[in-house]
Amino acid sequence: MSVTESLYCSARGDNIVSYINRHLSRRRPFCHRAWESDMTFKTVIMATAMTAVATTSAMAADKAEVQFWHAMGGALGELTDKFAADFSASSDTCHINATYKGNYTENMTAAIAAFRAGEQPHIVQVFEVGTATMMAAEDKGAVYPVYKLMKDAGIDFDQSAYLPAVISYYTDTENNLLSLPFNSSTPVLWYNKTALDAAGLAVPTTWDEVEAAARALKANGVAKPFSFGWQSWTQIENFSAWHDIEMGTKENGFGGLDTEFTFNNDAVVNHIQRIADMGKEGLFVYGGRRGDSRGMFTSGETALWINSSAYYGGFKKDIADFEFGQTMLPLDTAIADAPQNSIIGGATLWVLNGHDAPEYKCTAEFFQYLSEPEQQAMWHQNTGYVPITTAAYELSNTQGFYETDPGTDTAIKELSLNAPTPNSKGVRFGNFVQIRDVINEELEAVWAGDKDAKTAMDTAVERSNALLRKFEAAN
Amino acid sequence: MTGFDRHLQTFGALILAALWVLPLAYAIWTAIHPAAYEAHFVLNAPLTTDNFVKAWNAAPFARYFLNTFVLVTAILAAQFILCTLAAYAFARYRFPGRGFLFFLVLLQLLVMPDILIVENYRMIHSLGLVDTITAIGLPYAASGFGIFLIRQTFLTIPTELDDAARIEGAGPLTILWRVYVPLARPTYLAYGLVSVSHHWNNFLWPLIVTNSVETRPVTVGLSIFSTIDAGVEWSVINAATLMTSGPLLIGFLLFQRQFVQSFMRAGIK
Amino acid sequence: MQKRVIFRSAWLPYLLLLPQIAVTLIFFFWPAYQALESSFFIEDAFGFSRDWVGLQNYAELFRDEGYIRSFRTTLVFGLSVAALSLSVALVLAVAANRVLHAATAYRTLLIWPYAVAPALAGVIWYFLMNPSLGIVAYWLKLMGYDWNHYVNGDQALLMVIVAAAWKQVSYNFLFFLAGLQSIPKSMLEAAAIDRAGPMRRFWSITFPLLTPTTFFLLVVNLVYAFFETFSLIHATTEGGPYDSTSILVFRVYNTGFVGQDYGSSAAQSVILMIMVVLMTFFQFRFVERKVNY
């Protein structure tokens, strides 16, 4: 392994650096080490390293350089870097330089600061709530839309190969794809099967059943039966899409910047009030804005937990004491008879203008490479993110992934349950990062018992609309 | 005061001290034991270095440490030189605009440089310095806090020393170097402590202005651990925390004795 | 020979100040001026459009109840951090001064937190206090106290105050210890002969002699609490629950970097700057008059 490591390192084209590096340490500190824990990954990396050595070292200098800034840390970052390295190794003309630039926020700030100085990367990964900001930038010429990039590069780009619910979030009004979905997930209901069995309960499918199950679980000794994370995304944005009700006017903002919020409707208010009441009874315990409450689920304190399907990889590794599973989001039967479809979260790759044509051709080829079933299936199976093409889903199916890892197709099933309606295509609101903070604040006031659901949602809509007007004025 | 009282007070202070280091003690506990013992305190828990190995391998830390070391040394050197010169001018010269300029220095003391990131990035770009260690350090080379501190110390230095040196024919810069700087040593140490600790741990600006392994400091490497969402391993995070603060701690320990002693000699004012 | 040691030279002081001024002009005053300017504009993230709006960004802030509440939160936070870290450090230093033989190990332990990055200090506390995994939260529960800082705003504020003060105690401790050790033993012995009790001796002799150190540390601690704690808050509470830990500097960061709203972020920086300039001006005036250097 150590020989391969040093070869891999020198193949990256660092000269002085790798010299110092060799003197600093016997390991290869410059190259990210691959999945220590997983032998199959290790083999993959070794194979890649060999190819990389064979092809890149001689020609790195004449290749077009593409800068790719991403926000994937840890194992996800290593996979992302591997995609870039593998593609570069396989191409005679392109080299993708993948750089970790902090979390989503930091990555976007860095890209914008760089753009304003004229030093922007070619590709930048942006989270879904930044979509409206990036789209506004597209209108002004900062962004090179993906459909155009592909066409200019002469690549046969078939948009229908992609899962509609995944790409609909990122298309313009003419249904053209603006950015390439990279890591997408959707909320699912995670359950502790062992705890449900012990209480003699079936997996709940409606909100009434969730409430009843939580009560039974509590009686059976589960301390905090129900919880969730990313509350705006799971309990308002997705709750609305799942029941085919709008969150804001103008097709959830797709139709124009003059959109206004309507999520203080009875359906959402009653839902929030139900959860608040469950909280008073001790059936629901709030555990933080992000994924902070993950520990409540892995420790067995919570048996029903709504959050992203992308937790799968980590759960598989961390949960040993009980059996867990994932199922579709619960339905509120007072609102709809059947669920519509869920919407995604995650991030996409945006291309920024201002570079040369050969580099954009490389970018287009890299995007094509990322969309291929092999890459997509591998990404999907190792991370819990959904595949972006139908072909990758089918490949995972024929590889038997959904049999060895049951439930992992829940996310795709939720997303493709029905053809997306204007209420379930996604949401596109300006200043949405701050708006999610407003929603977080108001919901927290409900969980603490300081406000009732109606008052909180009215205030949230009022404060959020002010932020929408501000975005409209700025763009 | 009776002996008993004395012991009681000492004991109380020790308890408080123990309480204060408890978070770190706990971090050490989780870092040197397998994850299963995170909240399970038994004396025979097996020891492991796995967490450190894992943390070390998650990013090219050897290089990051080198970068951070170069960075904090360069910033400290630049700050000492710039601040000393400026403080000397403020403490010992009368010149038109002195009050105004000192006000400007105080103003800088109060503003978080992170607010100015977008503009500073543009400036660094026009100087052609993006993705260099110089770019990380340059905006911090001037320090209002340093000037303020050193000026205060210079003001307390007895004027007779100046006179004596001047009679011996020393010029202003010689006097600064031979008289003022040595007498202000505790202040330099006190300021050095703040500066080194701040820049060792600075994160946002280095992240934004650098892109490559060859220029990035330790904190950027650390940031890949602090994603709460991805199913964090506390034991590895704690190992990484100890690992990155280790060199800084050793530095502090080497200096702290000297720091306390030179304080006693000069007395901080 | 001049009587006062004030040198006269037409050019030397300017030459001495030149490097300092050059750096601050480029990396501080110019960007700060641009920040001031952009507080009067509304602009989009990428800087394509820029509309003059006068004082609208400021007016909006003062209409926002959350922003007004933030002043109170900031004040409570800053003063509590300073008070807690100064008083704990003083007690620890007094104890260390008494038992000099054990002092090295003791000092070593106490200075450690200062080496930990603010964000990581946040992470450690986050872990300790986590309602379901945290060991401290668990102990509190055993004592019959239900800890959940995700819901309870006062608990959340307490947590960030303790975490912020925790890091700063090390620094204060060193200064107090050095200050205590420079007090002549003879003074205390003289007081002991006069039958003054230990508390009396501390308050009438030791503490007054520590005043300059205390004032200096107060300034350092307040600057720290007001400006350098945003990464800690970002790593732990994100300003919540509701807006109970949303201090002013965190808002600046959140509006500017997370929300990409530079106009409002700039306006907030300007308000913060004015506030602190006034405060520090007052403080230094007070300190310089009251404390004899």
Higher pLDDT, B1 or A447: A447
Contact A133 C238 (CB under 8 A): no
Identify all chain C residues contacting B244, using CB atoms and an 8 Å cutoff: 117, 120
Contact A105 C49 (CB under 8 A): no
Let me know whether B4 and B34 are in one domain.
Answer: yes
Contact A228, A304 (CB under 8 A): no
What band does B29 get if pLDDT is binned at 50, 70 and 90?
confident
Please identify among residues 15-44 of chain A the ones whose CB lies closer than 8 Å to any CB of chain B: 17, 20-21, 24-25, 27, 29-33, 36
pLDDT for A9: 30
Let me know whether B39 and B64 are in one domain.
Answer: no
Q: Which chains touch B (3 or more CB pairs under 8 A)?
A: A, C
What band does A15 get if pLDDT is binned at 50, 70 and 90?
very low
Let me know whether B9 and B125 are in one domain.
Answer: no
User: A81, A98, A103: which is closest to A32 by C-alpha?
Assistant: A81
User: Which letter, b or e, does each residue of B198-232 get, where b requires 16 or more Cβ atoms within 10 Å of its Cβ?
Assistant: bbbbbbbbbbbbbbebbbbbbbbbbbbbbbbbbbb
What band does C288 get if pLDDT is binned at 50, 70 and 90?
low
pLDDT for B120: 86
Structural domain count, chain C: 1
**Which residue of B6, B14, B15, B111 is the best one to mutate when testing the C interface, meaning the one whose CB has the most C CBs within 10 A?**
B111
When mean pLDDT is compared across B14-28, B138-152, B207-221, the lowest value belongs to: B14-28
Let me know whether B19 and B95 are in one domain.
Answer: no
C282 pLDDT above the threshold of 80: no
C292 pLDDT above the threshold of 60: no
Of A211-220, A284-293, B146-155, where does the model show the most confidence? A211-220
Identify all chain A residues contacting C49, using CB atoms and an 8 Å cutoff: 140, 474-475
Q: What domains are there in chain A, each with its CATH number?
A: 2-184+355-404 (3.40.190.10), 187-342+430-474 (3.40.190.10)
Residue C118 is assigned to a structural domain of this protein = yes
Contact A434 C131 (CB under 8 A): no
Contact C262 B219 (CB under 8 A): no
Q: Which residue has 């050059």 as its token pair?
A: C22
Residue C1 is assigned to a structural domain of this protein = no
Q: Which residue has 């870290």 as its token pair?
A: C85
Let me know whether B39 and B124 are in one domain.
Answer: no
Domain that holds residue B105: 60-266
Let me know whether B106 and B177 are in one domain.
Answer: yes
pLDDT for C175: 83
pLDDT for C182: 76
Identify all chain C residues contacting B108, using CB atoms and an 8 Å cutoff: 24, 28
A31 pLDDT above the threshold of 70: no
A19 pLDDT above the threshold of 50: no
Measured distance CA(A408)–CA(C103) in Å, rounded: 58
A139 pLDDT above the threshold of 90: no
pLDDT for A329: 98
Contact C178 B108 (CB under 8 A): no
Of A21-30, A93-102, B118-127, where does the model show the most confidence? A93-102
B228 pLDDT above the threshold of 90: no
Please state at what angle helix B61-92 crosses helix B144-156, rounded to 10 degrees.
50
Higher pLDDT, C234 or C86: C86
Q: How high is the mean pLDDT of chain A?
A: 86
Contact B204 A103 (CB under 8 A): no
Q: How high is the mean pLDDT of chain C?
A: 83
Give the phi and the psi of residue A350 in degrees, each rounded to 5. Answer: -105, 145
Let me know whether B37 and B78 are in one domain.
Answer: no
Give the phi and the psi of residue A182 in degrees, each rounded to 5. Answer: -115, -65
Q: Which chains touch A (3 or more CB pairs under 8 A)?
A: B, C
B97 pLDDT above the threshold of 50: yes
- CATH number of the domain encompassing residue C200: 1.10.3720.10
Let me know whether B13 and B134 are in one domain.
Answer: no
Residue B88 is assigned to a structural domain of this protein = yes
Higher pLDDT, A41 or B198: B198
pLDDT for A203: 97
Of B176-190, C69-83, C173-187, where does the model show the most confidence? C69-83
Across the range C110-130, mean pLDDT stands at 80
**Which residue of B68, B224, B228, B233 is the best one to mutate when testing the A interface, meaning the one whose CB has the most A CBs within 10 A?**
B224
Contact A448 C152 (CB under 8 A): yes
Is the CB of A101 inside 8 Å of chain B's CB atoms?
Answer: yes
Measured distance CA(C108)–CA(B246) in Å, rounded: 12
Across the range C186-203, mean pLDDT stands at 78
Is the CB of C17 inside 8 Å of chain B's CB atoms?
Answer: yes
User: Percentage of residues in chain C with pLDDT exceeding 70?
Assistant: 91
pLDDT for A60: 52
What band does C101 get if pLDDT is binned at 50, 70 and 90?
low
Distance from CA of B1 to the nearest CA of C (A): 7
pLDDT for A12: 30
pLDDT for A463: 95
The bridge status of strand C50-52 relative to strand A304-308 is unpaired
What band does B112 get if pLDDT is binned at 50, 70 and 90?
low
pLDDT for B269: 41
Let me know whether B32 and B70 are in one domain.
Answer: no
**Residue range B31-54, pLDDT digits in tens:** 888 877 776 677 777 888 888 988
Residue C45 is assigned to a structural domain of this protein = no
- Give first-to-last CA distance, chain C, whole Å: 25
A140 pLDDT above the threshold of 70: yes
Contact A349, A367 (CB under 8 A): yes
Measured distance CA(C229)–CA(C84) in Å, rounded: 15
pLDDT for C76: 96
The bridge status of strand A345-351 relative to strand A180-185 is antiparallel
pLDDT for C146: 86
**Residue range A306-355, pLDDT digits in tens:** 999 989 888 888 888 999 999 999 999 999 999 999 999 999 999 999 99
A33 pLDDT above the threshold of 50: no
Q: Tokens for C30, please give them.
A: 């110019």
B231 pLDDT above the threshold of 80: no
Domain that holds residue C65: 55-290
Question: How many other C-beta atoms lie within 10 A of the C-beta of residue A192?
Answer: 25
When mean pLDDT is compared across A371-375, B35-39, B199-203, C15-19, the lowest value belongs to: B35-39
Residue C42 is assigned to a structural domain of this protein = no
Identify all chain B residues contacting C227, using CB atoms and an 8 Å cutoff: 110, 112
Measured distance CA(B190)–CA(B262) in Å, rounded: 11
Let me know whether B187 and B227 are in one domain.
Answer: yes
Across the range A292-297, mean pLDDT stands at 88
What band does C289 get if pLDDT is binned at 50, 70 and 90?
low
When mean pLDDT is compared across A29-33, A371-375, B52-56, B176-180, the lowest value belongs to: A29-33
- CATH number of the domain encompassing residue B168: 1.10.3720.10
Residue C43 is assigned to a structural domain of this protein = no
What band does B263 get if pLDDT is binned at 50, 70 and 90?
low
pLDDT for A7: 29
Distance from CA of B254 to the nearest CA of C (A): 10
Q: What is the DSSP string of B109-147?
A: HTS-GGGGHHHHHHHHHHTT-TTSHHHHHGGGSS-HHHH
Identify all chain A residues contacting C241, using CB atoms and an 8 Å cutoff: 441, 444-445, 447-448
How many interface pairs between B and C have CB atoms less than 8 angstroms apart?
Answer: 259
Let me know whether B44 and B65 are in one domain.
Answer: no
Let me know whether B157 and B249 are in one domain.
Answer: yes
Contact A291 B58 (CB under 8 A): no
Is the CB of C231 inside 8 Å of chain A's CB atoms?
Answer: no
Nearest to A140 among C46, C130, C258 (CB): C46
Nearest to A21 among B63, B223, B230 (CB): B63
**Residue range B123-148, pLDDT digits in tens:** 898 899 999 999 999 999 988 888 98
Please identify among residues 148-167 of chain C the ones whose CB lies closer than 8 Å to any CB of chain A: 148, 150-153
Q: Which helix (H) or strand (E) holds A132?
A: helix A131-139
**Residue range C205-244, pLDDT digits in tens:** 888 888 878 887 887 888 888 888 888 888 888 888 999 9
pLDDT for A295: 86
Across the range A420-448, mean pLDDT stands at 94
B236 pLDDT above the threshold of 90: no
When mean pLDDT is compared across A139-148, A245-254, C201-210, the lowest value belongs to: C201-210
Structural domain count, chain B: 2
Contact A434, C255 (CB under 8 A): yes
B111 pLDDT above the threshold of 70: no
What band does A4 get if pLDDT is binned at 50, 70 and 90?
very low
**Which residue of B227, B234, B236 is the best one to mutate when testing the A interface, meaning the one whose CB has the most A CBs within 10 A?**
B227
Measured distance CA(C79)–CA(B159) in Å, rounded: 38
Identify all chain B residues contacting C285, using CB atoms and an 8 Å cutoff: none
DSSP C48: S
Give the phi and the psi of residue C19 in degrees, each rounded to 5. Answer: -60, -45
